[in-house]
Amino acid sequence: MTCANCARRVSQSLQTVPGVSSAEADAASGRAVVTWAAGNTPDNDALIRAVQSAGYTAALQRAAANHEHSHADGWKQNLILGSALTLPLMFGEWLLGFGHEAWFHKLAFVQAGIVQIICGARFYRGAWQQAKVGASNMDTLVALGTTTAFGYSVWQLFTGASGHLFFMEAAATLTLISLGHWLEARISQKATAALRGLMELAPQTACRIDGGGVETVVPIAELRAGDGIVLRPGDRVPTDCEVVDGASAVDESMLTGESLPVEKATGAKLFGGTTNTNGRLTARVTATGEATALAHIIAVVRRAQSSRANIQRLGDRVSNIFVPIVVGVAIGTGLLWWLEPDKALASHNALSKFLWPAAIDETLGAVTLAIVHMCAVLIVACPCAMGLATPAAIMAGTNAAARRGILIRDGMALEKAGKINAVLFDKTGTLTQGNPTVVASEELRPANQRAQSIASVAAELAKPSAHPLSQALVRHGEVAAEARLTFSDWREWRGAGVQASCEGEIWRLGSIAWLAESKVDLAAGRAFIDEHSERGATLLGISQGTQLAGLIALRDRLKEGAGEVVSRLMRQGLAVHLVTGDNARTAAAIAREAGIPEANVHAQIRPERKAELVAGLQARGNRVAFVGDGINDAPALEQADLGIAVSRASDVAREAADIILLTSDVQAIPEAIGLARATLRVIKQNLFWAFFYNAAAIPLAALGFLAPVVCAATMACSDLVVIGNALRLRNWKE
């Protein structure tokens, strides 16, 4: 593979093999990594045949090897040899005037021949491999152009025909194109720096401790779930694990983008690749290899970099027919300058009044002029620019996002992010901290029925539930140790509350709306409900039969900077909405605090209706991004045009999301959307440049405004413009 465009074609061919879930070819290392879908038996022969069908060769690599710099190094060798042999020819022909000397022609033949054979070998191999499968690429154009110029000059030299020889131009073309490929390879390595940084995070060894306290340094490949490991200050965590002893602060910045170390104590989770800063920790391994969080992150970044966007389809269609069209134009150009030189010169002179003077040496003869301009057309055309326009931007954008703790699933996510006009926040755990606390309670039972406090009753009812509000009630109710009621027939009503039986009577704990639907009389608690709803608290009621036994107000604080996030999103031209299961007054109070317009607040929405709400907004012409963090959010994340899952998102929510935020800082939300939009803009700019360049350069070369050497330089520059524009995303700021 000679460029990223080749790698894209190989990836596409591999992805057509039945059973392959993802495939990523990398021109820099000369390798392709293929992942088989679960339940499929790997068929390596089928993979090799797929690569061969794309015009390349492949072999199974069983042992790991580091070829990270082989691609750039190969082009560097071309560049060094080409420069050493071409620069003396340019110096002698342009500055010393040896261009008409017979001895110089022979020297040029030898030196250009070496360049043509050695430096041109990579282009010839690439062109031949494509020709064998009935395809063509940029190697085809370079091989045709330089061979035509060199071959014509050889014919002139050995037949004694008069006219200019193009040995220097042929050698300079190969050297300049090699320079472009070398720079492209170096720049591509920079674009993938974040991915390589992630892959290098996990250390190669770990300090394992056995049941007798004996510590042994072992390769991380030998670690198994349940093994004990020791982490000293400064150690990198080798794999995912859980702290069993000790306390320390762990730097998770490379994974999450959060700059401050996170305090860890017994029971805390540690992730492979993070750094223990100041304390000794003993931990138990919970996951290894591909099951670790770091491996999942690397897989997402890899998949994003090899993914495609719909906008790329136009470039793909043009690239597929580009080389045959250019060859046809080149042949037409040659015939025009050979058979109708007067008409060609007239067209050139007419346009030169509006462009720039480019002298045509009419003494060269019609055949020579035809060869020169035909070679110029073949050399100046650049299908790589069109092929690179989208992948280069996706690669740079996803790497820039990964450094910020933002995982963008694929190119489609970038495309969707650029089109959204509304953001819908789930309240709990997204805009709020997801850690509600009890702020007030009211006992409404008669005095003779208060053997157990209302807080203890609520804790007992809530204990089997995993809902954040239930867990808050359990923590609050366990402050005082009391004799507890015994409940049976416990049942949870999703998004509403729980109910259980005690001594033949139904007890309920849940939202005020649900209790009202259950015919519970709320009159006794109306004042408490009104007061705390206005303060933005979440109200839960406890009923005994149809009587209201008590009320509890909980408050979940907004995350720091939530108001600023809403403001930033609005400045981006996005409408911000809030969805919550709270009553309308509580939801309105929270929205006021966050700066969300009251008209965009959706209260008393049960989990199963979140997806319906998203669909309703879409039906009104909105392109909706949904931000959530829980398993209940998965349907809404799937329904939304763009799903964004925050760091504490469940596995189901993560699978449904297009963008995953590894940091709990909500500031990353406008940054993620802004970066995705910027990446889409760069893709459009790159595609415009690639089409504009070829649409302008090919006619200019055909009409004699660009010499072959200049064509080689501009062709190399076109790739660099596309990649350089994409690399601006590495330093993107909102």
- If asked whether residues 460 and 514 sit together in one domain, one would say yes
Tens digit of each residue's pLDDT (9 = 90 or more) over 80-102? 998 999 899 888 887 888 877 88
Do 636 and 494 fall within a single domain? Answer: no
Domain identity same for 441 and 541: yes
Check whether residue 316 and residue 187 sit in a common domain: yes
Task: Look at residue 599 and tell me whether its pLDDT is greater than 50.
Answer: yes
What pLDDT does 567 receive?
Answer: 92
CA 465 to chain centre: 36
Task: Note whether residue 149 is domain-resident.
Answer: yes
CB atoms near residue 45 (< 10 Å): 9
Helix or strand or coil: residue 160? coil
pLDDT at residue 287 tops 80: yes
Note the helical H segments in 341-431: 341-352, 366-380, 383-403, 411-417
Does some domain include residue 129?
yes
668 within a domain of the structure (yes/no) = no
Contact 415, 681 (CB under 8 A): no
In a domain, 639, yes or no: yes
Please give the DSSP secondary-structure letter assigned to residue 428. Answer: I
Return the pLDDT at 274.
86
Tally of CB atoms within 10 A around 211: 6
What integer pLDDT is reported at residue 401 of this predicted model? 82
pLDDT recorded at residue 318: 67
Residue 449 DSSP class: G
| 379 Cβ contact list (under 8 Å, min separation 6) | 141, 142, 145, 146, 173, 177, 701, 708, 711, 712, 715
Q: Compute the distance between CA of residue 154 and CA of residue 116 in angstroms, rounded to an integer.
A: 12
CATH code of the domain in which 649 resides: 3.40.50.1000
- CATH number of the structural domain spanning residue 31: 3.30.70.100
User: Dihedral sign, CA of 94, 96, 100, 103?
Assistant: negative
For 530-573, write each residue's pLDDT tens digit. 888 888 788 899 998 888 989 999 887 888 888 898 999 999 88
| 228-231: strand order across its sheet | 215-219, 205-209, 228-231, 281-285, 241-246, 269-270
Question: What does pLDDT average to over the chain?
Answer: 81
Of the candidates 477, 550, 558, which has an alpha carbon nearest to the alpha carbon of residue 515? 550
Q: Which of 256, 291, 326 is the endpoint of a domain?
A: 291
DSSP H helical segments within 452-598, as ranges?
454-462, 468-477, 512-517, 526-534, 562-571, 584-594
Digit-coded pLDDT (tens) for 264-285: 888 888 888 888 888 889 999 9
Q: How many domains are contained in the chain? A: 5
The region of weakest confidence among 33-42, 310-319, 695-704 is 310-319
- Residue-level pLDDT at 484: 67
| 324 and 385 within one domain | yes
Distance CA 512, CA 497 (A): 10
Q: 91-105, 490-504, 529-543, 613-627: which has the highest mean pLDDT?
A: 613-627
**% pLDDT > 70, the chain:** 85
Q: What is the mean pLDDT of residues 601-628?
A: 87
Residue 352's identity, in one-letter code, is: S
CA 688-690-692 angle, 5° bins: 65
pTM: 0.67
| CA-based radius of gyration for the chain | 34
% of the chain beyond a pLDDT of 90? 11
Taking 80 as the threshold, does the pLDDT of residue 601 lie above it? Answer: yes
pLDDT higher than 70, residue 68: no
Domain-embedded: residue 618: yes
DSSP 705: S
The SS3 assignment for 577 reads strand
Q: Is 26 considered catalytic here?
A: no
Q: How far apart are CA 437 and CA 472, in angstroms?
A: 6
Within-domain flag for 168: yes
DSSP lists the bridge partners of residue 443 as 550
Q: Is residue 349 part of a domain?
A: yes
pLDDT: which is higher, 638 or 363: 638
Position with higher pLDDT, 67 vs 582? 582
- Asked if residue 536 and residue 471 are part of one domain, the reply reads yes
| Structure-block tokens of residue 690 | 């690639």
Marked catalytic residue, from 139, 251, 426, 658? 426
Counting every residue written for the chain, the total comes to 734
pLDDT value of position 65:
43
Same structural domain for residues 472 and 527? yes
Split at pLDDT 50, 70, 90, the class of 433 is confident
For residue 251, give its domain range. 202-291
316 shares a domain with 187: yes
Say how many C-beta atoms besides its own lie within 10 A of residue 147's C-beta: 18
- Strand 228-231 and strand 281-285: the pairing is antiparallel
Chosen domain end from 501, 525, 555: 555
697, 711 contact by CB (below 8 A): yes
Spell out where 610-652 has E strands.
Answer: 624-628, 642-645
Asked whether the predicted pLDDT for residue 259 surpasses 70, the reply is no
Q: What's the pLDDT score for residue 163?
A: 65
- What's the pLDDT at 63? 44
Q: Are residues 75 and 185 in the same domain?
A: yes
Tell me, what's the pLDDT at 229?
93
Is 683 within 8 Å of 396 (Cβ atoms)?
A: no
Assess if residue 305 is contained within a domain. Answer: no
Q: Are residues 81 and 171 in the same domain?
A: yes
- For residues 360 and 369, the answer to whether their CB atoms sit within 8 Å is yes
> Which one has a higher pLDDT value, 194 or 549?
549
Q: Would residue 39 be called left, alpha or beta, if left means φ above 0 and alpha means ψ between -120 and 50 degrees?
A: left
More confident residue, 64 or 25: 25
* Residue 257 pLDDT > 70: no
Residues 505 and 583 in one domain: no
Q: Choose one of 291, 320, 336: the last residue of a domain.
A: 291
What burial letters (b/e) apply to 423-449, b meaning 16+ CB within 10 Å?
Answer: bbbbbbbbbbbbebebeebbbbbeeee
> At 543, which CATH number?
3.40.1110.10
User: In the prediction, which pLDDT does 438 show?
Assistant: 87
Claim to verify: residue 576 and residue 722 sit in the same structural domain:
no
